[in-house]
Structure 1
């Protein structure tokens, strides 16, 4: 879980955006929108959820490995590489 107020605010903003997308999707389904439009909305929700997951996971990884300042530059680079890999996978 994000520990700083800034990180928490970013995560909550993402959650609220996803909620808005879900509400719009529900309205589209109730209104008998075209399948193409509905699928596009579902893809947007999936992308937003993956972005949220990446944000929370990055925060967790950084909190876990940044607790101790004794880690070397190599470990710090490995953390950055791991986060980049996870973000690429979740796209």
Structure 2
């Protein structure tokens, strides 16, 4: 998965920001913050995770489905893998 390795520092930075957002949700829950504040924080976490998923999906498509020189078998495998992930994520 070279496409993930190539952007590893950026992806790790995104994951760390998401971890910080999740920690903020925990802090606010522990501090009995209003449900509105907690919901806004959770919505931000969800948006950040969706952005991360979008980036990884785009890289997968470029490297394992749309890249020039892939065999039909490799392209089909990349598409099947992506479909399985999308189905799991959308549940």
Q: Which runs of 4+ in 1 moved over 4 A?
A: none
Aligned to 2:21: 21
Q: Name stretches of at least 5 consecutive residues in structure 2 with no aligned partner.
A: 71-91
> 1: distance between equivalents of 2:52 and 2:68?
23
Matched length: 67
Q: Which has the higher contact order (CA 8 A, sep 6+)?
A: 1
> Shift of residue 51 of structure 1?
0.3
Aligned to 1:72: none
Structural RMSD (CA) = 1.5
Aligned to 2:76: none
Deviations 1:3-54 (A, max 9, x none): 31xx111111110000000001000000000111000000000000000000
Aligned to 1:85: none
